[in-house]
Chains A and B, each alone.
Chain A
Amino acid sequence: MSQPLLEASDLNMRFGGLVAVDNVALRVHSDEIISIIGPNGAGKTTVFNCLTGFYKPTAGTIRFKGEDIAGLPGHKISRKGIVRTFQHVRLFKDMTVLENLLVAQHRHMNTSLLAGLFNTPGFRRSEAMALDKAMQWLERVNLLDMANRNAGNLAYGQQRRLEIARCMVTRPDLLMLDEPAAGLNPKETEELDNLICELRDHHKVSVLLIEHDMQLVMGISDRIYVINQGRPLASGTPESVQNHPDVIKAYLGET
């Protein structure tokens, strides 16, 4: 098999005496949808925070495209092609939907001070291209009519979609979604399902997903990692994970 896009091994994260992540390993290949599941407080979000540079892992290696990224600051990791959403929506609420998407393209734009001050053709071209890209994604997530609204005024489901669009305009290789279906109605969940598949199939993005909605997870994932109390419990295809005795035990709440 070719080199994995993302490979984490022996990942450890301690908060004082609490071991939130204990020797977790995971692998994501190109064009894969991988899910991480586990009971509440299992350490899934903490894994995300370690992978994206919000926490510096206590131990372990993280390789992205073969390069060691463990301990790099968040913005550097993001620039390498990993973007994430958050368990609680984090939009720029007082900025418009469109502006949210422009901010996300910051590093792809002409940020030269002089070019901007004198509004040079090169600067205008870069702004126009960013606008176009933003419009395309707004169209895709069906928010075109909301472009001029403040992001904070959108309905919850719309905010969730905007977050994904905002990630996508940064042109990532790996998209990490933290419980994107939480709080969505069945129809919206179905749309999310389609969107995620489309991202993999047509936009060449791998997706790493944390989700509690088992129907969504089982239907969409190429592989699944199960974490319980910070420790890896099982991993494999949806079928194998579903029938794994330890997983059943953990989810039925046995000790």
Chain B
Amino acid sequence: MKTRFFNAIAATFVLLLLTSMLLGLTLESNGTELVIQVAEGTRLSWIISGAVIVFLFQFFRNEISQGWQNTRSSMGNAVPTSISEKVKTTSQLSGLKTTALCFLVAGLMIWPFFASRGSVDLATLTLIYIMLGLGLNIVVGLAGLLDLGYVGFYAVGAYSYALLNMYFGIDFWTGLLAGGLLAAFFGFILGFPVLRLRGDYLAIVTLGFGEIIRILLNNLTDLTGGPNGISQIPKPDLFGLEFSRRAKEEGNVPFHEFFGIDYSSGYKVIFLYLVALLLVIATVFVINRLLRMPIGRAWEALREDDIACQSLGLNKTAVKLSAFTIGAAFAGFAGTFFAARQGFISPESFTFIESAIILAIVVLGGMGSQIGTVLAAIIMTLLPEFAREFNEYRMLMFGLMMVFMMGWRPQGLLPMKRPHIEVERKPQGVVSMQSDNLTTSGNQLVREV
């Protein structure tokens, strides 16, 4: 009861915090100055009623979901087995964790409005590396395939968007989809012949592929502009609203004109940050689902014992290929975003050292660990910024850090803790079983930890 009340209050608070920032305050121009004003009464009453609804819903959530389940089972299409119902009810126990996560996300969304332009820009870069780290983590950390050419897929994503935009004028969001899909496609094509190789051989071949992609981009001058790269790649837009001073395309309205506010290049930086944050959140969500899916378990199993996997009917190549392809897709998304953020790309940006940095992030964070990867990505992007004076010694420091890490904590900063499916049994639980028609009586609880 008490935690329920607390959860409801917390959810309402988050809602108020967000809505009051986004809707409750309006920026208005007063001559040359911007003035922050509280919104008019009707809007405030909308916010308040929204808060009340969220509070009530959170508070009576159990009743609501139970009622929903009852109607569902009376409709006769309920999940047939006993355990499954328990899965649902117990998975709600992690409410506190969810609340904490909501706070974190809300904080990260509000932060850029108060931070300096430079730090928001740096944070955006960090988010790109987080996404790359998380993507490579699937391939190296989860599936155990050492991929030294990951930057190749990053390049595929970036160039897909840049080229498709240049030749066909597609916008960022379509480009994002295309970049991810094309990178995944490349992952699939390249993975197919090489995934039979093991360990070191795989590492060397993937290293080669990364270089081949870069050299191709460098030499296909007619198509890609070669070493000169591609410039004037458009930034992401918000439902067609551009963040430039003047709309580049006919009929488009820039963001600031649409909302009747003054132009500020700060909006663009903040918007880029928010898009990157959105992409990272989506990545984290997808990877967390993957870990709880058969394919995630198969990756882990394959890493542990591929012979046993084979004897159980798992297709080794298909399982590895799925990790390689999905990992490549995330590099593609990151690459598309990178191209849009920079506005200019050239093969320079996709050298082997990038692959090495991304791999270092994964290893430093702890193979397979997501929080570790995030932490390591932050360290790896912030450290060079703070150590600007030592710029010439950057690679030296980088190498020293890796050597030091291998000696001190070879398992990484935060070694992986996988979500396990857990089963709880009541002590008096009697499980009946007939040899032919196997049935368990329902007193197991399943929970994920």
Check A106–B313 contact: CB distance below 8 A: yes
Check A132–B435 contact: CB distance below 8 A: no
Check B304–A113 contact: CB distance below 8 A: no
Residues of chain A lying within 8 A (CB to CB) of residue B4: none
Check A144–B431 contact: CB distance below 8 A: yes
Interface of B is mostly: mixed
User: From residue A137, how far is it (CB to closest CB) to chain B in Å?
Assistant: 8
Q: Is there a chain B Cβ closer than 8 Å to A78's Cβ?
A: yes
Check B438–A136 contact: CB distance below 8 A: yes
Q: Is there a chain A Cβ closer than 8 Å to B119's Cβ?
A: no
User: From residue B187, how far is it (CB to closest CB) to chain A in Å?
Assistant: 14
**Residues of chain B at the chain A interface (Cβ within 8 Å):** 77, 79-84, 87-88, 286, 289-290, 292-295, 297-298, 300-301, 304-305, 307-316, 420-423, 425, 431, 433, 435-436, 438-440, 444, 446
Check A170–B446 contact: CB distance below 8 A: no
Which of chain B's residues has its CB closest to A132's CB? B81
Per-residue CB proximity of A158-186 to B under 8 Å, as 1/0?
00000000110010000000000000000
User: From residue B432, how far is it (CB to closest CB) to chain A in Å?
Assistant: 9
> Which of A92, A139, A203 has the most B CB atoms < 10 Å from its CB?
A92
Residues of chain B lying within 8 A (CB to CB) of residue A187: none
Q: Is there a chain B Cβ closer than 8 Å to A96's Cβ?
A: yes
Q: How many residues of A contact B (CB 8 A)?
A: 57
Interchain CA distance A123-B314 in the complex, whole Å: 19
Contact segment of A56-64, A97-105, A226-234? A97-105
Check B312–A148 contact: CB distance below 8 A: no
Residues of chain A lying within 8 A (CB to CB) of residue B298: 103, 106
Check B420–A96 contact: CB distance below 8 A: yes
Per-residue CB proximity of A114-129 to B under 8 Å, as 1/0?
0011010101110111
Q: Is there a chain B Cβ closer than 8 Å to A14's Cβ?
A: no
Check A128–B83 contact: CB distance below 8 A: yes
| Candidates B83, B313, B431, B440; contact of A170 at CB < 8 Å | B313
> Which of B312, B314, B420 has the most A CB atoms < 10 Å from its CB?
B312
Residues of chain B lying within 8 A (CB to CB) of residue A119: 289
User: From residue B332, how far is it (CB to closest CB) to chain A in Å?
Assistant: 16
Q: Given A79-B313, A84-B311, A135-B440, A93 and B83 touching (CB < 8 A)?
A: no
Residues of chain A lying within 8 A (CB to CB) of residue B294: 102-103, 106, 109-111, 116
Q: Is there a chain B Cβ closer than 8 Å to A52's Cβ?
A: yes
Residues of chain A lying within 8 A (CB to CB) of residue B304: 92-95
Check B433–A139 contact: CB distance below 8 A: yes
Which of chain B's residues has its CB closest to A202's CB? B435
Residues of chain B lying within 8 A (CB to CB) of residue A42: none
Q: Given A95-B301, A111-B295, A124 and B433 touching (CB < 8 A)?
A: no
Known: A109-B294, A145-B425. 11 other contacts (CB 8 A): A74-B311, A78-B310, A90-B307, A92-B300, A92-B304, A104-B312, A106-B294, A106-B312, A117-B286, A144-B431, A148-B420
Which of chain A's residues has its CB closest to B288's CB? A117
Residues of chain B lying within 8 A (CB to CB) of residue A90: 305, 307-308, 311
